[in-house]
Amino acid sequence: MILTVATTPIADQKPGTSGLRKKVQVFQQAHYLANFVQATFDALESKTGQTLVLGGDGRYFNREAIQIVLKMAAAAGFARVLVGQGGILSTPAASNLIRQNKAMGGIVLSASHNPGGPDGDFGIKYNVGNGGPAPEKVTDAIFANTKTIRRYFIADAPDVNLDAVGTSDLAGLKVEVLNPVAAYEALMRQLFDFDAIKALFAGGFTIRFDAMSAVTGPYAKAILEGALGARQGSVVHGQPLPDFGGHHPDPNLVHCADLYALAMSPEAPDLCAASDGDGDRNLIIGRGQFVTPSDSLAILAANAHLAPGYKAGITGIARSMPTSAAADRVAHKRGINIFETPTGWKYFGNLLDANLVTLCGEESAGTGSNHVREKDGLWAVLLWLNILAVRKQSVQQIVAAHWAEFGRNYYTRHDYEEVASAPAHELIDRLRDNLANLKGRKFGMQEIAEADDFAYHDTVDGSISRHQGIRLLFKDGARIVFRLSGTGTSGATLRLYLERYDAKNFGLDAQIAVADLIAIAEEVAMIRHYTSRDQPSVIT
């Protein structure tokens, strides 16, 4: 039986760059999740007879949410839902299932790298038929529906058993619970030379992969330890936990401090890696060598042809605007396309679909390719492993050789997390109002050549996305970018991105290399004043 439940619009259900993210308590309010799911279903054309993919990163409230979505999918007329066993699917694995099964779309339950647990965050997003995050046109329609919603539809049926692989019926909906890893592993086998990587491990190569008690554990264990023969125990924190073991599943140098210390120690394995809550981000640290995500994108692009899946070469690279221009140097030298898009994976979808680019990346530890339409943490680790197996060099040697060939883009990001929202917006507004005066301003040896508020013109669909970040572009190619996070769940987070190119000297500490830019950023933006902080909360 299908129930019609009366409801009222619950304010502020605006999907951001990565869907809707809120505190768990917000999602636990009566009708809150159901409102958003109905608003999503109402934004879609005919669902009758269609397939939907469903899964999440296993965080607190995942199982309850899955049951609600299943019963609402039955009420909406979907024919079939593919759901990961235990309600588990990494974001890239969900993207793959949508594509392979020609599903209409998918619902991914995750707040990515945000903490989980009863006091943590929860999130939900809708992905479209190409496997990627819904474009703005769709998220705008969902938001409009959340403003007017008065009812939702839900099947009155018992919960589905999520723990047993198999097919069952839910009020006429076929629910297929499947192994979350199998199809993803098969895809990785097509892209990478598993025999070469196996031989690398057999030869004594060591890895430590920190799954951060999040979704990638089962994937990493099956592929790294199972299929590729990495030593048992190479994957740590491999069991997905609802609260991520109390940790913050963000693979950066702050939340992976232990892994970093190990990588810099005499006991360091050849490769240390980690991924985030939903498995789409990656951290790469070689023995004695941290690889910034921007450099990693450039290095992977320069070497992708060494892996079978990319042996014909890549058509181009896309990077988000705040990501360093290291990838641009590779693209220019190799004569392939390079695109600069706003922050957020959804902007890469059209470029990938049109085959204008093969690889994409963001400075925030996201890298991926045309194999799915999401960033993919484990994929990045496997591509690194394939390259290491072929080149038979260390990570450190590969990075050094890359800088010698292309020069180094010194890069750092400073985050001011959970600051007061109004003054943070004021900081950005003030810069935006001052762009004309900033252009041409001199600071010692430095001069601002261009100052703008980044706008992206999508050449595939013609859409324009404005206000994507304040950019100060200096005469010598250095750059400062200011933007506000779209994924935080309390207050505002100011992100300051700093970059300077050096063709010859590669040995500086990044903070020292951009010290003059840090001072200029403070001078023009009065960060201390507007954030009431005298230093960033996270430096990466």
Nearer to ligand VG1, 242 or 486 (CB): 486
Site for Co ion in 111-130 (CB under 5 A): 112
Give DSSP secondary structure letters for 187-199. Answer: HHHHHS-HHHHHH
Using CB under 6 A as the binding rule, the residues of this chain from 105 to 164 that contact ligand VG1 are 112-113
Q: Which of 57, 121, 276, 458 binds ligand VG1 (CB under 6 A)?
A: 276
Binding flag, residue 350, ligand VG1 (CB under 6 A)? no
Q: Quick count: other Cβ atoms within 10 Å of Cβ 496? A: 22
Q: How far apart are CA 144 and CA 49, in angstroms?
A: 25
Q: Active-site residue among 95, 112, 296, 369?
A: 112
Is residue 522 within 8 A of residue 498, CB to CB? The reply is no
Q: What would the two tokens of residue 375 be? A: 């960033």
Which residue has tokens 């076929």?
A: 174
Which of 47, 39, 31 has its CA nearest to residue 14?
39
CB of 58 vs ligand VG1, minimal distance in Å: 15
* 373 touches ligand VG1 by CB under 6 A: no
Q: Give 190: exposed, middle or buried? Use CB within 10 Å, 0-12, 13-18, 19+.
A: exposed
- Nearest one of 105, 111, 112, 109 to 87, comparing CA atoms: 109
Contact string (CB under 6 A) for ligand VG1, positions 306-335, x = contact: --------------x---------------
- The angle that helices 293-303 and 377-391 make with each other, rounded to 10 degrees, is 50
Q: Which is nearer to Co ion, 42 or 376 (CB)?
A: 376
Indicate which single residue of 495, 497, 518, 527 sits in contact with ligand VG1 (rule: CB under 6 A). 495
Query: Residue 292 to residues 125, 327, 365, 534: CA-CA distances in angstroms?
Result: 28, 12, 8, 25
Least distance from ligand VG1 to the Cβ atom of residue 101, Å: 22
Q: How many other CB atoms sit within 10 Å of the CB of residue 78?
A: 25
> Is 112 an active-site residue?
yes
Binding test (CB under 5 A) with Co ion, winner from 42, 193, 280, 374 = 280
364 binds, among ligand VG1, Co ion, none (CB under 5 to 8 A by kind): ligand VG1
Least distance in angstroms from the C-beta of 125 to Co ion: 11
DSSP 277: T
Indicate whether 415 belongs to the interface with ligand VG1 (CB under 6 A). Answer: no
Q: Smallest Cα–Cα separation from 81: which of 49, 109, 58? A: 49
Contact status: 363 vs Co ion (CB under 5 A): no
Q: Per rule CB under 5 A, is residue 295 in the interface with Co ion?
A: no
Nearer to ligand VG1, 294 or 320 (CB): 320
Neighbours of 459 (CB within 10 A): 12
User: Which one of residues 244, 345, 454, 530 is an interface residue with ligand VG1 (CB under 6 A)?
Assistant: 345
Indicate whether 487 belongs to the interface with ligand VG1 (CB under 6 A): yes
User: x/- site string to ligand VG1, residues 1 to 20, per CB under 6 A?
Assistant: ----------------xx--
Is residue 421 at the binding interface for ligand VG1, with CB under 6 A as the rule? no
Burial class (CB in 10 A: 0-12, 13-18, 19+), 158: exposed
Of the candidates 217, 228, 262, 238, the one whose C-alpha atom is nearest the C-alpha of residue 386 is 228
- Does 78 contact ligand VG1 by CB under 6 A? no
CB of 194 to Co ion, least distance (A): 25
**Alpha-carbon torsion (292, 456, 45, 13), positive or negative:** positive
- Interaction of residue 486 with ligand VG1, rule CB under 6 A: yes
Pick between residue 251 and residue 316 the one whose CB is nearest to ligand VG1: 251
**Applying CB under 5 A, which residues contact Co ion?**
112, 276, 278, 280-281
**Applying CB under 6 A, which residues contact ligand VG1?**
17-18, 112-113, 276, 278, 280-281, 320, 343-345, 362, 364, 366, 485-487, 495
User: Which residues are part of the catalytic machinery?
Assistant: 112
